[in-house]
C-alpha cells in the first residue's frame, strides 16, 4: 500500500513527526495503552524519562493504515525520534536493553546523557 503525499493522513503524519522530537504512533494513549506492545513502548520511554507525543491510531482507520504505509512497516506502535523512524516494540525493547536507545536519544539531544 502506498500513501498519497497529498492526502490529509500523510500530511498529518508528516507534520506530527516534524513538529515533535519524539512521537509514538500507538494503540491507545500514553496514559491508557490499548495493547501490550504499545504499553511496552510507553514503559520504555517513561523509564528513560522521555517526553513524547502519543498518537492513538485507533481513533481513525485511515491513520492506522496510513502510518503503516508511511513507513512501509506493518505493525504498531511505531517510534520516531527527531523525524527518524526507529521501529516497533521489539526493536524498542532490544535497543533499550542494549543501552542503544538511551544513547540515540542523548545523541539526538532529547535526553541528557
**pLDDT tens, position by position, 5-17:** 788 999 999 999 9
Residue 1's pLDDT is: 57
**pLDDT tens, position by position, 20-43:** 999 999 999 999 999 999 999 999
6-10: long-range contacts (C-beta < 8 A, 24 or more apart)?
Answer: 7/66, 8/62, 9/60, 9/62, 9/63, 9/66, 10/66, 10/70
Please tell me the distance from the alpha carbon of residue 28 to that of residue 110, in angstroms, as a whole number: 23
**pLDDT tens, position by position, 87-109:** 999 999 999 999 999 999 999 99
Amino acid at each position: 500500500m502506498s500513501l498519497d503525499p497529498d492526502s490529509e493522513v500523510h500530511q498529518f503524519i508528516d507534520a506530527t513527526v516534524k513538529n515533535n522530537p519524539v512521537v509514538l504512533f500507538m494503540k491507545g494513549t500514553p496514559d491508557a495503552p490499548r495493547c501490550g506492545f504499545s504499553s511496552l513502548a510507553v514503559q520504555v520511554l517513561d523509564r528513560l524519562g522521555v517526553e513524547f507525543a502519543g498518537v492513538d491510531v485507533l481513533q481513525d482507520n485511515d491513520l492506522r493504515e496510513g502510518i503503516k504505509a508511511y513507513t512501509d512497516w506493518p505493525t504498531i506502535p511505531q517510534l520516531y525520534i527527531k523525524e527518524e523512524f526507529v521501529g516497533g516494540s521489539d526493536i524498542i525493547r532490544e535497543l533499550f536493553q542494549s543501552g542503544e536507545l538511551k544513547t540515540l536519544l542523548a545523541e539526538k539531544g532529547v535526553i541528557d546523557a
